[in-house]
Structure 1
Amino acid sequence: MESSDGPELPSQVTCFEILPRLPSKSLMRFRCVNLGCNKHTHLLLTASDKTTKQQHFFSLQINQQGSRTPAAHLLTLQTPPTENERLYTAQCMNGLACLYLSNTSAPKQTDPNHPVRIFNPCTRESISLPHTSPASCTAHVTHHFGYSPLTNEYKVLQVQKLIPAVGDVHFMFKVFKMGASLWRHIEVDLNDISFDPLNFPLHRRSVCVNGAIHWMHGTHNPIVVFNNEDEKFRVIPLPEDYTCFTHLISYPVGNIVGVGGYLGLIESRYAVPFYTIHTDELLLQSSGLSRQNPACMKVILYNMKNESLRRSDIVFPDKWAYLTRTRFKLLTSYEESIEPLIR
């Protein structure tokens, strides 16, 4: 029987129409035989509807031609009916997104009264993590998503800052491991760490690289590291020719980024690298998307090899055209994954 090469289905159809309907076991078998299923980078976008108090999430595949690819709707979540708008933000690891509510006046200080979610944009599977009650004197709560390649474990680090302090305790740390049923409290002796924790800006965006979560300290020179395997804090000194006060990037973007498995430090207030993608290009854009007309927005990509720039346009389907009056935000980038959320 002769084989014929028929037309190839667009990846948008495969990922968002076919894969979400398959059971997890079938998806895992598919991953074993299809080595190219997570080859392309996608952008995770969001827009909120103040009238309905809903937040919509979209995915856009980055291509190498720069042609207009329609964004696909992934998920709609209800936001709290509060006076100050609270929206979900996201961190991605290996195609899984950690979604948590934040206050727009302080984008990384999450709302402890709503559960953290783990969401797979490819399969559209979503789970809510168990509720964990904050201490009565908690000033704010932050969450940071990490992955350990050695143990193949996904973890969410929760940090509660206590004001006033309870005795000598200024922070409370908890960890949730995917597959567990409860958050687990971890002991951290602040006297044993070589940085000032009281001035540590945990609200800054963190970057997980090689099994560890990284932050810039902000007021001092080290990079603060939380190891996902032994759950210990340590510090990495900055390069001698780098001065964080000189090159400080405006909050909340921060001045640290992951580049091809390495940490990158930003030295300019302009064209901030947001993420790297599968084409080895840097996404140069703040979290807000630039727009040329009400129905089309764009991001800028920088090719590090030939030092050239290109524009990638974003087009939304007609069904969601009414949202174009809303400010869209770029949350993060991710690669397609069929990793099951329940193991």
Structure 2
Amino acid sequence: MESSDGPELPSQVTCFEILPRLPSKSLMRFRCVCKSWSSLTRNPSFVSAHQNLGCNKHTHLLLTASDKTTKQQHFFSLQINQQESLTPAAHLLTLQTPPTENERLYTAQCMNGLACLYLSNTSAPKQTDPNHPVRIFNPCTRESLSLPHTSPASCTAHVTHHFGYSPLTNEYKVLQVQKLIPALGDVHFMFKVFKMGASLWRHIEVDLNDISFDPLNFPFHRRSVCVNGAIHWMHGTPNPIVVFDNEDEKFRVIPLPEDYTCFTHLVSYPVGNIVGVGGYLGLIGDRSMMKNEAMGLWILKDYENLNWVKEIIVFPRWAVSGYAVPFCSIHTDERLLQSSGLSRQNPACMKVILYNMKNESLRRSDIVFPDKWAYLTRTRFKLLTSYEESIEPLIR
């Protein structure tokens, strides 16, 4: 005879059909209930179900500001909610920055809700620093993982890092590129990979004579874009796009669109002319459109067949400070635009510009910071990246 409460649902249905539909923050609270619930929410199958069900597809923005007095860098997040407005910014993390004359700050790249934080300053030699390691950070769970220190070679000039993900193997990797300039001899490179879950960096062999681009003139220091399981850089016209495959760990190239016209934008944009657009690879350009307050955006809709689709973004110049470029696509099917800086009219309030491709309309939304952090606006907040919340554990 069944109880008055009715029959119980099978645990498989509860664990992998119902619970994964809950918001990330609710699941984080469940981790404190008991060990079994904590274990469940860290289970790879549960994490995958939560991500695939898509019940948490609200865009979040990751911002940062530095306090030069204390040598601290603060990270904040906010959400673009269903009402298409911005939630107040929340403080996530504080990191100490190196006490050097040349300001070296952390920048970030996000993949599936995980952020890779690393020091970025190409003018600083021997950039690896045991006191300021590369970190993997989950803004949703607030978990942070410091990667082991990797000592640079004595002749290292610059070190750069790039965050990637392989959907085939479900592996997160950090690619480290060291540019070596010996006292005598030719300039060469050292490539290392750190796979999340490993304990050490792994050296990978790259035959520079067997790759289809000139590494000596390649801007490895530029920020990359990871889509389709590969890391992408723009080499610069008339050269192609350089690709590092996160699965086989090989370099290759893909050609630019035939009608693409590349130029350097007038804004201080971290990625250059290559951007991520809703999970696709995108290129911005077309100098001829600037006078008409428009911009060309090429999107690689068919990655396998290299089929590029061109979109035209038209916007009034009054809407932004300087010439804007797409920063990311958000869950409302709009493009978030970034100019040379986020405008500040109120010391504790900043604005972002959102562009609707269907009706070619713009709207501005305010970013509001709690009074406690308003003093940081003197050093200017910087928009680092966008992400969707994830419960991906850093340590299982």
TM-score by length of 2: 0.74
- Higher helix proportion, which one? 2
User: Secondary structure of the equivalent of 1:213?
Assistant: strand
1:168-198 residue CA offsets vs partner (Å, 9 max, x unmatched)? 5611000000000000000000111111111
Q: Which residue of 2 aligns with 1:278?
A: 331
Residue identity (%): 96
User: Secondary structure of the equivalent of 1:166?
Assistant: coil
**Per-residue deviation at 1:9?**
26
* Conserved 8 A contact 2:122-2:221: no
* Conserved 8 A contact 2:323-2:339: no
Q: Which residue of 2 aligns with 1:226?
A: 244
- Larger-gyration structure (1/2): 2
**Per-residue deviation at 1:287?**
6.7
User: Secondary structure of the equivalent of 2:243?
Assistant: strand
**Per-residue deviation at 1:301?**
0.9
* Conserved 8 A contact 2:88-2:370: yes
Greater relative contact order, per chain length (Cα 8 Å cut-off, separation 6+):
1
**Per-residue deviation at 1:337?**
0.3
User: Secondary structure of the equivalent of 1:56?
Assistant: strand
* Conserved 8 A contact 2:74-2:94: yes
1:281-308 residue CA offsets vs partner (Å, 9 max, x unmatched)? 1110147321221111011011122221
* Conserved 8 A contact 1:211-1:229: yes
Shifted more, 248-257 versus 323-332: the winner is 248-257
* Conserved 8 A contact 2:107-2:384: yes
User: Secondary structure of the equivalent of 1:64?
Assistant: coil
Q: Distance in 1 between matches of 2:124 and 2:92?
A: 26
User: Secondary structure of the equivalent of 2:375?
Assistant: helix
1:2-43 residue CA offsets vs partner (Å, 9 max, x unmatched)? 999999999999999999999999959979999455221100
* Conserved 8 A contact 2:240-2:253: yes
| Change in CA separation of 1:70 and 1:9 when aligned onto 2, cut-off 3 Å | farther
Shifted more, 35-44 versus 276-285: the winner is 35-44
* Conserved 8 A contact 1:20-1:125: no
| Change in CA separation of 1:311 and 1:31 when aligned onto 2, cut-off 3 Å | farther
* Conserved 8 A contact 1:158-1:174: yes
TM-score by length of 1: 0.85
Unaligned runs of 5+ in 1: none
| Change in CA separation of 1:325 and 1:10 when aligned onto 2, cut-off 3 Å | farther
Runs of 4+ with >4 A deviation: 1-37, 104-113, 165-169, 245-251
Unaligned runs of 5+ in 2: 34-51, 285-320
* Conserved 8 A contact 1:15-1:122: no
Q: Distance in 1 between matches of 2:103 and 2:224?
A: 23
RMSD of aligned Cα (Å):
6.2
1:200-257 residue CA offsets vs partner (Å, 9 max, x unmatched)? 0011110000100000002542000000000000000101111324779766430011
User: Secondary structure of the equivalent of 1:180?
Assistant: coil
* Conserved 8 A contact 2:174-2:193: yes
Shifted more, 235-244 versus 132-141: the winner is 235-244
1:89-114 residue CA offsets vs partner (Å, 9 max, x unmatched)? 00000000000112386899776763
- Higher strand proportion, which one? 1
User: Secondary structure of the equivalent of 2:181?
Assistant: strand
**Per-residue deviation at 1:262?**
1.7
**Per-residue deviation at 1:58?**
0.4
Q: Distance in 2 between matches of 1:306 and 1:4?
A: 55
Q: Distance in 2 between matches of 1:318 and 1:99?
A: 26
